[in-house]
Amino acid sequence: MAIDIYKINPEFRDIMPQEIIDLEENATWAQNQKKPRGIKELPDTKELLEEHSLCAGCPEAAALRYVLAALPKPEETIIVNSTGCTSLMFPHIALHTVHSLFGNQNAVASGIKRSLAWRFPDKVKDVVVLAGDGATVDIGLDYTLQSFFRQEKITTICFDNEVYANTGGQESGMTPKGQVFKMAPEGKKFEKVKMWELATTSGCHYSINMTASAPKAVAKAVREAILIARDIGPTYLNIYTPCILEIGLSANEGLGEMKDQDKDRFASYKYVSDEAAAHLIKCKEEGLL
Amino acid sequence: MYYIAKVDADMCAEYKCNTCTLYCPEANTLMFDKERNTSYVDVDRCKGCELCVYVCTDMLSRNCVSMLTPHELKEEQALAAQK
């Protein structure tokens, strides 16, 4: 995919919606920029996300804004997603996205990455998996871990809301012990899966556990993870984006909840392999970070 | 009845901060005007979650953002136009 597909045919320019024109004129594509992309451009440029259908105040939507703003090269990025609240946003994104079967996202992404490497050997193509905790850790755990074992060069981002939110609140592997939901009235009986540690032991070169309470930190992590996945191997980000509806908070309380969990269940965890750390230093020297 | 965020441009311009624009979960809704040094709201896109009020009032103690009904917003705009 090239940036050319966003160029509007001059003959049709007068009937195009303003949002499409903005996308051509005012969006931050890596090709048009000297400096790396980042959240600093969010306040005054067109975003790659457009009028999504998530609830008012949903932290997941904010996190997606940071992820999209931090992609090093959006015009050459393909996002693979899975069923869940995140999949409601993907029809509103100006990038190529692939919707996989529930849980299959890492297997699908592996195939896409390999075929792109074969089809475009001289181009950089990033494949990013973006799915919820149900798809990544519960139903799709097998596929996620197998892609780490195989050292597939893809970035896996898990939006961890600790529950199957859009089907009414069933417990998932990521739900903390004792938590009660509408469709899990007895409370969870065992501990939350520490997926970020599993990712480290399964061969990921970069594994992070964080909340989406600090936009800059999320953007930095996404950028580093994608750059490492390009050349070294699999990377994993676990980002806490609480479902304010299921845990019973008002629309404006999501950010406070994330800030509270910064010190508790989502205390910062970061693993970078030696190889990846050396690569990051190299990227910094080249001006990619 | 629903609410829409409104940024007090004069108060906001004193701080030159764009923190609320980063935390808003909606895309291209709270934007920053570099010439006037203030944030502003795209009224048609705002879902009224009040997160910007939380950021400006609770996090930063600046009180530049308030929530209005569409009716109140229209009245205020009419008043401003008269001036």
DSSP of B18-82, one letter per residue? -HHHHH-SSTTSEEEETTTTEEEE-TTT-----HHHIIIIIIT----EEEE-HHHHHHHHHHHHH
Average pLDDT over chain A reads 92
User: pLDDT tens digits for A135-181?
Assistant: 999 999 999 999 999 999 999 999 999 999 989 899 999 999 999 99
Query: What average pLDDT does the segment B31-60 reach?
Result: 92
Please report how the helices A141-149 and A105-119 are oriented relative to each other, as an axis angle in degrees rounded to 10: 40
Closest CB to A255 among B23, B30, B47: B23
pLDDT tens digits, one per residue of A6-43: 788 899 999 999 988 998 888 888 887 888 888 988 99
**Domain limits, chain B:** 4-82
Kindly list the residues from chain A whose CB atom is less than 8 angstroms away from the CB atom of residue B15: none
Asked if A262 is an interface residue toward chain B (Cβ–Cβ < 8 A), one would say no
> Band of the pLDDT at B51, cuts 50, 70, 90?
very high
Single out the residue of B72, B29, B77 nearest to residue B51, CA to CA. Answer: B29
Using an 8 Å CB-CB cutoff, list chain A residues near B59.
255
* Residue A55 DSSP code: P
Query: Span A82-111, mean pLDDT?
Result: 92
The chain B residue lying nearest A214, using CA atoms, is B23
Give residue A2's pLDDT band: very low, low, confident or very high (50, 70, 90). Answer: low
Closest chain A residue to B41, measured at CA: A43
Q: Which residues of A touch B36 (CB under 8 A)?
A: none
pLDDT tens across A229-270, in order? Answer: 999 999 999 999 999 999 999 999 999 999 999 998 999 999
Report pTM: 0.95
DSSP-based three-state secondary structure for A10: helix
Q: Is B77 on the interface with A (CB under 8 A)?
A: no
Residue A217, burial from CB neighbour count under 10 angstroms (0-12, 13-18, 19+): middle
User: Which fold is adopted by the domain A36-285?
Assistant: Rossmann fold (3.40.50)
Instruction: Give dist(CA A165, CA B71) in Å, integer.
Output: 34
Query: What radius of gyration do chain B's Cα atoms show?
Result: 12
- What confidence score (pLDDT) does residue A141 get? 95
Q: Which CATH number fits domain B4-82: 3.30.70.20, 3.10.20.90, 3.40.50.9100, 3.40.30.10?
A: 3.30.70.20
- Pick A62's closest partner by Cβ from B23, B34, B39: B23
Contact indicator for A244, A59 with CB cutoff of 8 Å = yes
Across the range A205-229, mean pLDDT stands at: 95
**In the predicted model, is pLDDT for residue A126 greater than 80?**
yes
Give mean pLDDT, residues A72-95.
Answer: 90
Beta carbons of A57 and B45 less than 8 Å apart? no
Residues of A in contact with B48 (CB under 8 A): 56, 251
